[in-house]
Amino acid sequence: MTRKYFGTDGIRGTVGQAPITPDFVMRLAHAVGRVLKRTESRPTVLIGKDTRISGYMLESALESGFNSAGVDVVLLGPLPTPGVAYLTRTLRASLGVVISASHNPFPDNGIKFFSAKGAKLSDEWEFAVEAALEQPAVWAESADLGRSRRLDDASGRYIEFCKSTFSNDLTLKGVKIVVDGAHGAAYQVAPKVFHELGAEVISIGCAPDGLNINHEVGATHPQTLVAAVKAHGAHYGVALDGDADRLQLVDADGRLFNGDEILYLMVKERLSRGGAAESKRAGETVPGVVGTLMTNMAVEIALKARAVELVRAKVGDRYVLEELEKRGWLLGGEGSGHLLALDKQTTGDGIVSALLVLQACMRSRKTLAELLADVTLFPQILINVRLKPGQDWQTNPHLAAATRAVETELGDHGRVLIRASGTEPLVRVMVEARDEAQAKACAQRIADILAA
């Protein structure tokens, strides 16, 4: 069964074009409200957003749609996606809604949802919403309309939560950190978290104007952070994306660490608590972690050496989460910087992930490079090919033949992954190999056939 509107992370697109229009978003909220009212007589929904100028319009549309279905609304204002997930859980709300297109540029926006437990919702729930969208609206009677209010201290509550995930016996005093908020949802929150834990904070990407979110800053443009860390002589750099659910880290030398490396570090830090008995206790403390089809082979090999199993889920943090919950594991993530530590937070949280890494550094008194000295990532070449209208790439015999030839050439020293984007009309060609030149050549051969 194919979903009509929902992608891998909610509904996303260009503002003013279907489905990201105010009329559709109002109908969407109304449909979601009707689904909620099947199990609750008076649901309450939280709505947070990033800093895009279109957020005001879409927030109003959502509010109207929910109220029209008899659903109460709590407006949180600009707040990171994981902050909405946290408050949904702690305020015992029925649902959390985030208005954000994450790492996309400002003309885009999107809507994503969290369950009452602060977790991503299932495919079945999304199918139910899409089915409700096809039905005529059922407007609530005037006396039954939902009410709306604002939660003025939403960001303060989330700041305190983030700080609580950092060990009470440690401090960031004496540490200089550049914090890049991507001109996004964490522009106020992130600098305060690190400052209140003792760090000297230099803020960049923390002056949103509605149009500059993710523009040459943030996790998708980490070279801005690299330059700032070097210029300020900082010990670390933390870059978030527009809704602050992903993370990129930089050390004092300007070296960039991606999500795969950070995931391995999180595992290693947990195992280190077993001391000399680490290898014996690995199966008890970290039985396994969940990555994705894109997780670097070097991390898989390093985890295996520590007796930790890596399971690959489909690309998308929701699928990582589903696999973790199915297996009862705690740690997972993506190379893009979406990281999960389910004993700390119910969803990917860039700030919390950064604090877990800094905690490992403070506790061990080692740098990031020292902690990750036993992992050298394989070169991973990714080429995006834009699809032509109606193009059926999956049945292309020339593409299949080229892929088989590359896989034979790489053998056990590399791999090929071809997948469609969940948010854009693109096919992503990834080739991973020990030799970078070989990976580039192989990826280009496949991409050229796909683009022909």
Check residue 1 and give its pLDDT: 62
Could you report the average pLDDT of every consecutive run of 10 residues in the chain (452 residues)? 84 97 98 97 98 98 98 98 98 98 96 95 94 96 98 98 97 98 98 98 98 97 98 98 97 96 95 55 72 93 94 90 95 96 96 97 96 93 90 91 95 89 85 95 95 86
Sign of CA dihedral 388, 394, 397, 400: positive
Check residue 281 and give its pLDDT: 41
Q: Which two tokens stand for residue 119?
A: 């977790």
Residue numbers annotated as active site: 102
Check residue 266 and give its pLDDT: 95
Q: Rounded distance, CA 100 to CA 269, Å?
A: 32
Do 145 and 163 lie in one domain? The reply is no
Q: Within a domain: residue 319?
A: yes
Phi-psi region of 10 (alpha: psi -120 to 50; beta: other; left: phi over 0): left
Domain stop point among 118, 152, 186 = 152
Check residue 423 and give its pLDDT: 67
Would you tell me how many other CB atoms lie within 10 Å of the CB of residue 153? 10
Q: Within a domain: residue 225?
A: yes
Check residue 246 and give its pLDDT: 95
How many residues belong to the chain?
A: 452
- Contact, 83 vs 34, CB < 8 A? no
Do 148 and 123 lie in one domain? The reply is yes
Check residue 3 and give its pLDDT: 83
Do 109 and 26 lie in one domain? The reply is yes
DSSP-derived secondary structure letter, 142: G
Check residue 30 and give its pLDDT: 98
Check residue 284 and give its pLDDT: 47
Check residue 406 and give its pLDDT: 96
Q: Rounded distance, CA 34 to CA 326, Å?
A: 29
Do 71 and 199 lie in one domain? The reply is no
Domain stop point among 303, 329, 348 = 348
Check residue 8 and give its pLDDT: 77
Check residue 390 and give its pLDDT: 81
Q: Within a domain: residue 310?
A: yes
Do 234 and 272 lie in one domain? The reply is no
Domain of residue 431, CATH code: 3.30.310.50
Q: Rounded distance, CA 84 to CA 107, Å?
A: 22
Do 103 and 126 lie in one domain? The reply is yes
Q: Rounded distance, CA 85 to CA 68, Å?
A: 24
CA angle 55, 56, 61 (to 5 degrees): 95
Q: Within a domain: residue 119?
A: yes
Q: Within a domain: residue 369?
A: no
Q: Within a domain: residue 361?
A: no
- Contact, 135 vs 40, CB < 8 A? no
DSSP helix/strand/coil, 175? coil
Do 57 and 125 lie in one domain? The reply is yes
Do 212 and 111 lie in one domain? The reply is no
Q: Within a domain: residue 141?
A: yes
Domain of residue 183, CATH code: 3.40.120.10
Question: Structural domain of residue 433, as residue ranges?
Answer: 380-451
Do 286 and 231 lie in one domain? The reply is no
Q: Within a domain: residue 303?
A: yes
Domain stop point among 257, 290, 320 = 257
Do 145 and 206 lie in one domain? The reply is no
Check residue 389 and give its pLDDT: 86
Do 323 and 290 lie in one domain? The reply is yes
Domain count, the chain: 4
Check residue 317 and give its pLDDT: 87
- Bridging pattern class, strands 414-420 and 426-433: antiparallel
Q: What is the DSSP string of 373-434?
A: TT--PPPEEEEEEEPPTT--GGG-HHHHHHHHHHHHHHGGGEEEEEEE-SSSSEEEEEEEES
Do 142 and 164 lie in one domain? The reply is no
CA distances from 118 to 85, 96, 190, 208 (A): 4, 7, 20, 27
